[in-house]
C-alpha cells in the first residue's frame, strides 16, 4: 500500500469516525476507488490500525471520563459514576450481540456493496436532519435510553449508517442534552473498538509484511491527529445544532454513489 493511500485512509478514518458521515461507508468508497488490491487481507491490518488510532484519540480526549467510568464500575457504589458505567455496558450489548451472531452476514456487506452504502447514507442524512431540528432538552441518559442508543449503534454496523450520527441523533430525539449525547456516543464505542481489534488480531486472518510498516505508521499518525481535531469539533457542532450541514453532505454523497453505481462508474464494479 502506498504512503499516499495510507495518508488518505488515515484522514478519512480520523474525520469520519467522529463526524456523522459514516467512516465505514467512506472507507468502502475509498477502497473501491483505489481498486480491489486494497480489499485484500493486508488491508484488514490497516483497518485495525486506523481504528486503534481513533480509539486512542477518544481515550486522550475523554481520559477523565474513562477514569470515572472504570472507577465507578469497580467501586460498586450506588453513585452517578457507577450507574454511568452500567449504562455504557448496557449500550454495548446490542452491537456485541449482532457482531457475535451475525458476523458472516455483516462481512458480506463490506465487499463493494456501494448501492447499500448510498442508501444508508440517505438514512443517515434523515436522522441528522431530524436531530438538528429537535428542541433543546436537558435530560441525561437513562437505562432505557442507553439500550435504545445501543440498538442504534448496532444498526450503524451497516456501511453508510454513521455510528456517531445514529447514536447522537437517537439520544437527541429521546430528549437528551446534545452535549451529553455526544459525550455518551463517543465513550460507548471505545470498548467495542478495542474488543473488535483484539478479535481481529487473534483471529489469525491478518497478514503482515515488514514492507507495510511505514504505510501503517503513517496511516496511524494521520488518523490519530485528525481524530483529535474531529472529536473536539464534533462536540461543538452538536452543541450548536449544526448537524443539518452533515445531513446535506450525506444526502449528496449518497445520491452520487447511487448514481455512479447504477451507471457502473466505480473501478471495483
Domain-located, residue 77: yes
Mean pLDDT of 62-84: 75
Residue that has been written with the C-alpha cell 451529553 in this structure: 180
Share of the chain above pLDDT 90, in %: 26
- The total number of structural domains in the chain stands at 1
Domain-located, residue 267: no
**Residue 223 CB: number of other CB atoms within 10 A?**
32
**Residue 196 CB: number of other CB atoms within 10 A?**
18
C-alpha cell at position 81: 459514576
Residue 76, pLDDT score: 64
| More confident position, 171 or 76 | 171
Mean pLDDT of 93-118: 82
Alpha-carbon distance values, 50 to 121, 191, 224, 226, 233 (Å): 21, 15, 8, 11, 19
SS3 263: coil
Domain-located, residue 173: yes
Residue 34, pLDDT score: 66
Angle separating helix axes 23-33 and 114-132, nearest 10 degrees: 150
Mean pLDDT of 55-82: 78
Residue 27, pLDDT score: 76
Q: Determine the structural domain holding residue 221 and report its residue range.
A: 3-262
pLDDT above 90 for 248: yes
Domain-located, residue 209: yes
Element (H, E) at 145: helix 143-155
pLDDT above 70 for 253: yes
Where would I find the beta strands (DSSP E) of 124-219? none
**Residue 165 CB: number of other CB atoms within 10 A?**
28
**Closest listed residue to residue 19, CA positions, set 120, 164, 187:** 164
Tell me the pLDDT band of 46, cut-offs 50, 70 and 90: confident
Tell me the pLDDT band of 29, cut-offs 50, 70 and 90: confident
Domain-located, residue 269: no
Can you say whether residue 6 is alpha, beta or left, with left for phi > 0 and alpha for psi between -120 and 50 degrees?
A: alpha
What is residue 265's DSSP assignment?
Answer: -
Could you tell me how many residues make up the chain?
269
- pLDDT digits 0-9 by tens, 143-178: 999 999 999 999 998 888 998 899 999 999 999 988
Domain-located, residue 184: yes
- CA pair distance 212, 49, nearest whole angstrom: 12
**Closest listed residue to residue 155, CA positions, set 102, 115, 111, 95:** 95
Domain-located, residue 80: yes
Domain-located, residue 73: yes
pLDDT above 90 for 221: yes
Q: In the beta sheet, which residues pair with residue 176?
A: 139
SS3 139: strand
Would the pTM of this model clear 0.75, i.e. be above it? Answer: yes
- CA pair distance 112, 189, nearest whole angstrom: 25
- CA pair distance 57, 227, nearest whole angstrom: 6
- Taking all residues of the chain, what is their mean pLDDT, rounded to a whole number? 82
* Range in 7-11, 41-45, 220-224 the model is least confident about: 41-45
Residue 78, pLDDT score: 67
Amino acid at each position: 500500500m502506498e504512503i499516499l493511500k495510507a495518508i488518505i485512509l488515515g484522514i478519512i478514518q480520523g474525520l469520519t469516525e467522529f463526524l456523522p458521515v459514516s467512516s465505514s461507508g467512506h472507507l468502502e468508497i475509498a477502497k473501491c476507488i483505489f481498486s480491489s488490491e486494497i480489499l485484500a487481507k493486508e488491508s484488514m491490518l490497516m483497518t485495525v490500525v486506523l481504528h486503534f488510532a481513533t480509539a486512542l484519540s477518544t481515550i486522550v480526549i475523554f481520559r477523565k471520563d474513562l477514569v470515572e467510568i472504570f472507577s465507578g464500575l469497580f467501586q460498586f457504589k450506588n453513585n452517578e459514576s457507577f450507574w454511568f458505567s452500567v449504562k455504557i455496558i448496557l449500550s454495548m450489548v446490542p452491537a456485541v450481540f449482532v457482531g457475535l451472531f451475525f458476523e458472516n452476514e455483516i462481512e458480506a456487506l463490506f465487499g463493494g456493496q456501494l448501492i447499500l452504502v448510498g442508501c444508508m447514507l440517505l438514512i443517515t442524512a434523515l436522522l441528522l436532519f431530524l436531530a438538528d431540528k429537535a428542541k433543546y432538552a436537558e435530560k441525561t441518559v437513562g437505562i432505557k435510553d442507553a439500550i435504545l442508543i445501543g440498538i442504534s449503534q448496532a444498526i450503524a454496523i451497516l456501511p453508510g449508517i454513521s455510528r456517531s450520527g445514529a447514536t447522537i441523533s437517537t439520544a437527541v430525539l429521546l430528549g437528551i442534552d446534545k452535549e451529553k449525547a455526544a459525550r455518551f456516543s463517543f465513550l460507548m464505542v471505545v470498548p467495542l473498538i478495542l474488543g473488535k481489534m483484539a478479535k481481529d488480531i487473534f483471529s489469525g486472518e491478518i497478514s503482515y509484511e515488514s514492507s507495510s510498516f511505514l504505510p501503517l505508521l503513517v496511516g496511524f499518525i494521520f488518523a490519530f491527529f485528525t481524530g483529535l481535531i474531529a472529536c473536539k469539533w464534533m462536540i461543538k457542532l452538536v452543541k450548536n445544532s449544526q448537524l443539518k450541514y452533515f445531513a446535506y453532505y450525506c444526502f449528496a454523497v449518497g445520491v452520487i454513489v447511487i448514481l455512479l453505481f447504477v451507471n457502473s462508474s466505480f473501478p471495483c464494479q
